[in-house]
Amino acid sequence: MVDVSGKTSTFRQAKVAGLLKITETHRDAIHKLPKGDALTIAQIAGIQGGKKCSDLIPLCHQIPLSHLDVAIRLTDDGIAIEATARTDAATGVEMEAYAAVVTAGITLIDMLKGVSPDLILTDVMLMEKTGGKADWLRE
């Protein structure tokens, strides 16, 4: 692991977005799945995934999350997933937001694959981060 013991704890926030491309068949079935409400279950799974980030990614620091929100909504393009993670720590919180988006996305795939396996999780990207060396915003 990278040694962050000499760094000062500061407020840090990261926002990551992703998109699950679905078919019309998926869209028609999304609220009638045997496993339940896919959007709510994926939201909870995303939060759990973000909280377990350091267990999933080798050498990733375990940091205290002060907030982790996962928003999931149907769009014309598919299912948009966005995670916002916050901490007061000596290292960033981007990986927790990434883990939240990807976990929510693969949970949706698990729930929808029985309808059709034609699903694509794409465009997973950092949208913005604050704190640390410098703030960053995707333009």
Residues annotated as catalytic are 110
User: Of all helices (H) and strands (E), which one includes residue 46?
Assistant: helix 38-51
Taking the CB of residue 52, how many other CB atoms lie within 10 A of it?
15
The two structure tokens encoding residue 123 = 């465009």
Please report, for residues 11, 28, 57, 107, the alpha-carbon distance to residue 40 in angstroms, rounded to integers and kept in the order given: 28, 17, 25, 10
Q: 46 and 109 in contact (C-beta within 8 Å)?
A: no
